[in-house]
Amino acid sequence: MSITTTKADDRPRVDPGDQVMRVRGVTLRFGGLVGLSDVALDLNRGEILAVIGPNGAGKTSLFNSLTGMYVPQEGTIVLRDRSGGEHSLLGRKPHLVNRLGVARTFQNIRLFGALTALENVKIAAETRQKSGPVSIMLGLPNARREDRESDRRALELLHFVGLDGLLNELAASLSYGQQRSLEIARALATDPQVLLLDEPAAGTNPTEKLDLEVLIRRINRELGVSVLLIEHDMRLVMSVADRVTVLNFGKVIASGSPAEVQRDPEVVAAYLGAEMAAEMTGATQAEIGGVAEDGSVPAQRDGEEQR
């Protein structure tokens, strides 16, 4: 992956027939609770696909299933590489899924707080190295070359996400928005074909949200990375996503362009349900869930779902 291959305005060609990830019939149960039910989803190469839905709808469970952290009891999850080779991801260990080209960020940021920004990204870049521990310990030429390459790559990515002034700051001392950018740089350092972003705007301020919007587009356009995005901020989703898939109670209830999904009666009903609940109880929209004035979709309360 090169950082400077295309101009910012160049969209990678999105060919609906060229699916980089294909998910079919995925069902995930936690004991008696159904987290995902017969979920199907296609991510086309070069596109940004948002996955939305109220809290508890199954979005993170889906990401965990796509990245090997959860193993669904039923279904298929296939990654297609650039030469058309197909790889089943179901049941594969997370580091092997990553090696095949799927990287992710987490809803709750997972950085090494006591390491610097540069070290956090370099560790991820090193997962692509071929030198074994003995070559590294002995400082053999191959190992030294790969070490310099990891340094170069980490610096390039920190520049790409706008953190080049903070290379030597401890991750824990960065602002929330900066930590989110660092997590993205770290995910990119593993050279993914597909990047899964789990609520990247959570906890960021309005300026950081706008920066994030630009960054997601640049990752997609300049690096040619296909993006799956979980996000509650509907303004961000509607602005960056090519298509949107809506989950509710673990099922896909709609899929289409942002405009189509916004008009879909089932999606409207899912969110209107929360609105009516707010009216009936006198609670505010934000307290109950539904589309709030700022465009965000707050939580569905525990116990609302019948699974």
- Which x/- pattern over 61-100 shows residues binding ligand ATP (rule: CB under 6 A)? x---------------------------------------
Q: Out of 33, 96, 269, 272, point to the residue binding ligand ATP (CB under 6 A).
A: 33
- Which x/- pattern over 104-133 shows residues binding ligand ATP (rule: CB under 6 A)? ---x--------------------------
Query: What are the Cα distances from residue 72, in Å, to 26, 62, 100?
Result: 6, 9, 19
- DSSP tally for the chain: helices H, then strands E: 11, 10
Contact, 63 vs 200, CB < 8 A? no
Q: What's the CA dihedral at 47, 48, 53, 56 to 10 degrees?
A: 100
- Under the binding rule (CB under 6 A), the answer on residue 290 touching ligand ATP is no
Q: Out of 20, 49, 53, 270, point to the residue binding ligand ATP (CB under 6 A).
A: 53
Contact, 248 vs 238, CB < 8 A? no
- Under the binding rule (CB under 6 A), the answer on residue 248 touching ligand ATP is no
The region of 1-9, 28-36, 122-130, 217-225 touching ligand ATP under the rule CB under 6 A is 28-36
As measured in angstroms, the least distance from the Cβ of 297 to ligand ATP is: 9
The region of 52-60, 127-135, 177-185, 267-275 touching ligand ATP under the rule CB under 6 A is 52-60
As measured in angstroms, the least distance from the Cβ of 254 to ligand ATP is: 15
Task: Give the relative orientation of helices 141-160 and 117-126 as an angle to the nearest 10 degrees.
Answer: 130
List CB contacts of 111: < 8 A, sequence separation 6 or more: 120, 171, 172, 179, 182, 183, 186
As measured in angstroms, the least distance from the Cβ of 173 to ligand ATP is: 27
Q: What's the CA dihedral at 129, 134, 138, 144 to 10 degrees?
A: 0
Q: How many residues bind ligand ATP (CB under 6 A)?
A: 12
Radius of gyration of the chain (CA): 20
Residue numbers at the binding site for ligand ATP (CB under 6 A): 30, 33, 35, 53, 55-61, 107
